Structures are given as C-alpha cells and as structure tokens.
Chains A and B, each alone.
Chain A
Amino acid sequence: MRTAEFVARSAGALAVVACAALLAVATTAGAQTRFGIGRTATPAEVAAWNIDVEPDGRNFPPGQGSVVHGRDVYNAQCAACHGANGEGGVGDRLTGGMGTLATDKPVKTVGSYWPYATTLFDYIRRAMPLTAPQSLSNDDVYSVSAYVLYLNGLVPDSAVVDGKALTALRMPNRDGFIGDPRPDVKNADCMTNCTKAP
C-alpha cells in the first residue's frame, strides 16, 4: 500500500498527494495520518518474528514434546543452573512451594506461582537456556516444558504435550492474582506534634 502511494507520487500526482499528506499531518487525524516513512512488514517477516504464545492458545507453533524426551533436554540444558530436580541453583527454583504463598516464607515456583503453563513454553522458547537462547527446537521446548510440569506433579510421566495441552492445563495458582488497588496506604501529612516516627 505504501509502495503504491510512493509510486503514485513519483508518477506525477506529487502535488495532490503532498497536500493530502500535509493536511493529514497538520490535523493529526488518527489512523489516516501518514508520514510515508518506514515500510510495510510482510506477512512472512511478521510470522518469523511473532513468537509470542498466549494463554488462550493463540500462536502456538506446530509440534509436541514428551516428559521422557524433556528429561534428556532438561538434564543437558537446564539442570546445571536449575538443579537436577528443579530445586534451583544459579537459576530460579522451578519446583515445589505449593501451599507456601500465604506463609512467612513463600516459595514462588512454576508449580506454586505461575498462573499459565503457556508462559512456560513462551519463556523457555525465547530466553532459555541462558547462554544460548532460541537454540532449542519447538519440540524440545514442548518437551522440557512438559518435564518441568511433570517435576511439579502437574502432568504424568507418560504425558506428551502440545499447544492445546498447555492451554488446557489449569495451573494451581491460576486464580492467585488480583488487580492493582494502589494507592493502598494513606499517610497523613502531619507537620507538628506527630506521634509516629518516620
């Protein structure tokens, strides 16, 4: 579309198009405002960059992975930082902590805290392993996601997961989040005879 516009200008409609563009800029009329700078991203370019998967199941890539294969991937790629059983180390603890969130020592893990299993796939795919992100195949990401869920007791050792399965899996802390109520505290701007120390 933008290329067509540029061609139109070059082809002699310069004055008319330029006037229209100036008007659009001057009125900042919203979606129609056009500077004619940048170019349209092609569907192939968008598809290649658009790696986010969403909790409602949108945009998962084809593929699947098993807990069994995930164990191998995990041991090779993850265990050094996250521990043999997800107990943590240099990297975050991934397992356990169920029932601790309301205690004095909450343990936030994939199993105890994360609201969506889809986020697990998304994050591993884009950012793990720390030293070589985006190096795992989609099937390996599915597999290691399945294995981390297995370590948390959320899928059986025979599980094979895909995008549908991750979307359908209800995480234990799915309803654990609330909106932002701030300002949640109100301090009086006392100037004299204030009783409370700062």
Chain B
Amino acid sequence: MARTPKHPAGPDFDPDLAPQALETGASRIRSRRAFLRKSGALVSSGVVLATLDANAQGAVRTTGNSASPPAIPESMKAPGAPVGDKLYGVPSKYEADVIRNVPKNQAQYISSASRSPLGDLDGIITPSGLFYERHHGGVPVIDPAQHRLMLHGLVRNPLLFTVDELRRLPSISRIHFLECSGNPVYTKPYGKTASDLVGLVSCGEWTGVSLKLLLDEAGLMPDAKWVMAEGADAAAMTRSVPLDKCLDDALVVYSQNGERLRPEQGYPLRLLLPGFEGNMNVKWLRRLKVTDAPVYSREETSKYTDLLPSGKAREFTFYMEAKSIITSPSGGQKIPGAGFVEIRGIAWSGHGKVARVDVSVDAGRTWAQAALQEPVLTRSLTRFRFPWQWNGRPTIIASRVVDETGYVQPAFEQLTGERGVNSFYHNNAIQPWRVADSGEVSNANG
C-alpha cells in the first residue's frame, strides 16, 4: 500500500510526550478512498458523473456507477472458502488499509502512540484491533496464569488475586470511551485528518469487576483517600486515583468487546476509569495500593500536568471534557459532488451523556441540531447525523457538543485564550473542516 513517506515532526519533537497531531499519509489516502467508495464514485477513473434529478427540489444526483454490473458475478459461480478457513476471523482483504495511524520516523516506538482511523469507522464500538494505543514501555507479553493483582496499603486485609479468581466475582459490562489527554496538543503542526487530530479516542464494551467490590473485600481504613495503580509493563506505569472515583464507576477489566483484552489494551487486566484521561486507566494492572495521599509519580507530575502562560501548571486534571468531531466528510476525504451529504460524526463527554450536537455548514454563523443515534450512553462515544444539501460552493463545517451538565464544547481560541498553547493536554476544541469547491476537505485550522 502506497504511503506518503512524509515526516512532519520537527527535530525537537518529543516522542515521550503524547505525540503531536501528525499527518500520516496512509490514513489520509485511505480516508479519501473510503469516502469515494461509499459515495459510489469510481476511484480509478476519477470520473464523477452528475446528472440533474428531475424532482421539485432540483437536487443533484451524483453517480459513479454508470457501467452495467455483471448479471452473475464471479462470487456466485463457485463455492467460497469452507467453514473454519479462518479460525479467528479477519477483515476482508479489501479493507487491508483500514489500519492504525502510526506517526512516521520517530526516534523510538517503545514510548509512543497510534491512532484509530476515525474517518473509516462507523458506529460507536471501535474494533479491538483498531483501538488507539499509547504505551510507555512497549507491549508486554504476560501469561495470565502467572499474573496476580495485589491490593494493599490502607486496607484491613491485603489481597492477592489470580485472573481466574477475579473472573469468579460478579461481572459487569459497560460501554465507555477511552481518550488520551493529549488529543490533540495545541501547537502546530496541526493534523490533517480526523485520525491525526483526535484519533487517540476509541470506545469499547468493557467487562470486569467493580473496583468498589474489591476495595470492600479488602476493607478500607479510615485514612484511605487515594488508590495508586501500577502496571506490569516495563514502565511500571503508576498513577494515583482519587478514592471517590474508585468507589464510583471504576472497573478492573479483563475483557473488551466480548473477548479477553488485547495485549495492547492491558492483557490480562487493566483499570478502567470512565471519563478520566487515558493514562490513568493503567494497563497490565498488577497492583492497587490504597494511600492517604497521591504518590506524585512521574506521570502525574512531569507529564499529564497542564502548563499555563503564568508558568503555573494544573495538576490532577482527570476529566475529559465534552468533545465532538465530524468524521465524514473530514480532512483528507472528498465529497464527490454537489447534492446530498449526510454529515456524520462522534461526540462524547467524560462528565456523562451527550445531550445535543449542533452542526454548522456556514462557518459557524448558524447552527442546527443533529440527530443522535441510539444508544446514547454515559461516558461513551455517541454518533450524530446531519442531512446536508451541499451547493458545491466552498464553506466550513463543524460540530459542537453539549453534554448533560450543560457544558458547551468550546472554540480553540477560547481554550488557548485561557490556557495558552503550551498546555499540551485536554484540548477539546471544536474542529472545523474546510470544504473546497472541488469537494476536498481539509483542516480549517491549517
């Protein structure tokens, strides 16, 4: 598959920080192809036929399928692959370029990230193989039979669990998004595609044990206020979590989307803190230590703190605030011609449910409410749809989410006005897309 060997990261790019919004050619090309294909355009010829529809609105019908299809396609003339041909199914070979979006030419990939190809995905569940990754010490290989979870510190009864023992306990399944807090950063180079920009978000169905249940089993001491979580990876990833969150909706997860966690997502155990920044959802979870104060680990002091223009930095900025983005049509894609376009995208909030998504097709002068696709779940991706008749003229389109707390997704300038551009984390700004008269879509923040 042809990829653009372009490397936008400058010499001062820091691979250990949550990576910048990097252009990746594969993602861009793929997104464009997918959009054309979905629209019925002939990619190979590049010819787009437009014929005027005869209806009263004078809507323009675009079509790329002028050639007559075979009456009997090859797939109907011989049996296909037998049952069991693939004992673990994989996508069609024609989908081979729907892949994670990995920044090019980093000095190392042990502490790095890959993004979900948001522009190519439908629905709210991210396929496990396309879930975004952020690892700080690579992906470990862990034998679940050897793995243990220790729960200790300010508890009456320190406990040690095997994975099988945790699976014996009452099991809970919930759908939640996960998002890296540097998604994207505030500084240039800005990403070109939806994946480049906010591909460090994904959503899955998680199955595991209530952390509250485990803490109750151990018996909390009166001074308990925080729980430090540690991973069994080469980074021994360590984050402090407020006890309130642990007693609310936190899970110790062993499965994702119906199967055991993938290694990249923490096999065999991970912490899930719905709505909290991704880094705190410690993967390969092996230890929970109840404390009376945060441990001030490296990841919660020198990283994942938000520097302000004053020189002060915000610490313990846990919640991911409400965000939305149009994923179709989005950067790198091309609208095949004037006429009907269903604007589609995703919205989410770390503070609860999506209440509303508004869409503007005139550079923010007017907004109209989009339809929300059920299910609309707490701390989950939510799909929105907005029907649009594109008149073929250049414009800017954008989405804006309002969550159930009444919080309205802000403009980029509002965020940087308050936080400056070196705050790095928690950029949840409205993402405007520029539509050219050619139908090509690009980042209006370019």
A106 close to chain B: CB less than 8 A? yes
Give the residues in chain A near B68, CB-CB below 8 Å: none
Across the interface, A1 reaches (CB within 8 A) one of B157, B289, B309, B419, namely B157
Give the residues in chain B near A1, CB-CB below 8 Å: 157
Across the interface, B311 reaches (CB within 8 A) one of A34, A102, A119, namely A102
Structural contact, B216 and A31, CB atoms closer than 8 A: yes
B107 close to chain A: CB less than 8 A? yes
Which of A40, A45, A116, A130 has the largest count of B CB atoms less than 10 A from its CB?
Answer: A130
- Give residues of chain B (132-166) contacting chain A, Cβ–Cβ below 8 Å: 136-137, 150-152, 156-162, 165-166
Give the residues in chain A near B313, CB-CB below 8 Å: 101, 113, 176-178
Q: With A37-B165, A56-B293, A198-B396 known to touch, is A126 a contact of B150 (CB < 8 Å)?
A: no
Contact size class for A? Answer: 35 or more
B223-239 vs A: 1/0 string, CB under 8 Å? 00000101000111010
Structural contact, A52 and B228, CB atoms closer than 8 A: yes
A50 close to chain B: CB less than 8 A? yes
B297 close to chain A: CB less than 8 A? yes
Structural contact, A115 and B296, CB atoms closer than 8 A: yes
Closest residue of B by beta carbon distance from A52: B295
Q: With A35-B217, A39-B159, A116-B296 known to touch, is A90 a contact of B289 (CB < 8 Å)?
A: no
User: For the complex, what is the distance from the CA of A59 to the CA of B32, rounded to whole Å?
Assistant: 55
Q: With A114-B302, A119-B302, A189-B400 known to touch, is A196 a contact of B411 (CB < 8 Å)?
A: yes
Structural contact, B301 and A115, CB atoms closer than 8 A: yes
Q: A50-B152, A119-B301, A185-B418 are in contact. List 14 more A-B contacts (CB 8 A).
A: A35-B168, A35-B169, A37-B165, A38-B161, A38-B166, A41-B152, A46-B158, A90-B107, A101-B311, A113-B313, A130-B137, A180-B316, A192-B366, A198-B411
**B residues apposed to A, CB below 8 Å:** 14-16, 107-108, 110-111, 136-137, 150-152, 156-162, 165-166, 168-169, 213, 216-217, 219-220, 228, 230, 234-236, 238, 286-287, 289, 291, 293, 295-298, 301-302, 305, 307, 309-319, 321, 358, 360, 363-368, 396, 398, 400, 402, 407-411, 414-415, 417-419, 422, 426, 430, 432, 444
6 residue pairs from A and B, CB less than 8 Å apart: A37-B161, A89-B107, A130-B111, A133-B137, A186-B410, A196-B411
